[in-house]
Amino acid sequence: MENITVIKYQITAYAADFVCRGAIAVPSFRRLSDFINDASSPFLMVDDATSARWDGALFTITAQHTGVILNKPNLVAVMPARDAPAPRPSPTEVVPKMPVPVKLLASPLLIEGHWNLARGVAWDRAMSVLRDEFLIITNANLYYLRTNARVEENLPVIFVKRSCIGLFQMSPSPKG
CATH number at residue 12: 2.30.30.100
Tell which phi-psi region holds residue 148, choosing left (phi > 0), alpha (psi between -120 and 50) or beta: left
Residue 69 and residue 129 in one domain: no
Average pLDDT on 141-166 reads 90
Is residue 60 within 8 A of residue 52, CB to CB? The reply is yes
Q: Is the pTM of this model over 0.75?
A: yes
Backbone angles phi, psi at 174, to 5 degrees: -70, 155
Full residue range of the structural domain in which residue 109 is found: 97-170
- Please indicate whether residue 99 or residue 75 has the higher confidence score (pLDDT): 75
Q: How confident is the model at residue 176 (pLDDT cuts 50, 70, 90)?
A: very low
- 129-149 as b/e: b if 16+ CB within 10 A: eeeebbbbbebbbbbbeeeee
N-term to C-term CA, the chain: 50
Structurally, the chain folds into a number of domains equal to 2
